A = this chain, B = another copy of it.
Amino acid sequence: MTTQEVADTLVKLCSAGKLDEAMRTLYSPDIVSMEAGAPPGQSRESKGLEACLAKGQWWVANHEVHSSKVEGPLVACSHFAVAFKFDVTFKPQDKRFVMEEVAVYKVAGGKIVYEEFFYNM
């Protein structure tokens, strides 16, 4: 797949709430995922598909999604950007908030090999 095709597929699957399928279909086994920040003692960086799937599954299990919007992609050669906007409740604290972030992805060999999320901590 081209970067454009990977980007369009990611947006389509994430818009349908199919985060797990997006990762299994589009991510390289060696994906590196970088958050804007990390909890104390943990890393910003997750390495490998299994770690990303686990991070995604934790997110899905701990948030009730009231509405979501995926904007983009903006494609530039090997990279693309997407904006995510979620109105969610963090279930462990019953706390509702709006979460907006820019995500940048790098594609190589038809797979996503790097992702980085930008948001305020």
Residues of A within 8 A of B (CB): 71-72, 74-85, 100-102, 104, 106, 118-120
4 A-B pairs with least C-beta separation:
A81-B81, A77-B100, A76-B100, A74-B83
Which B residues are in CB contact (< 8 Å) with A106? 118
Q: Chain A binding site: helix, strand, loop or mixed by DSSP?
A: strand
Given contacts A104-B102, A104-B104, A104-B118, contact A85 B74 (CB under 8 A): no
A73's nearest neighbour on chain B, judged by CB, is B74
Contacts of A84 in B (CB 8 A): 76
User: Which residue of B has the minimal Cβ distance to A3?
Assistant: B100
Complex CA–CA separation, A84 to B83 (angstroms): 17
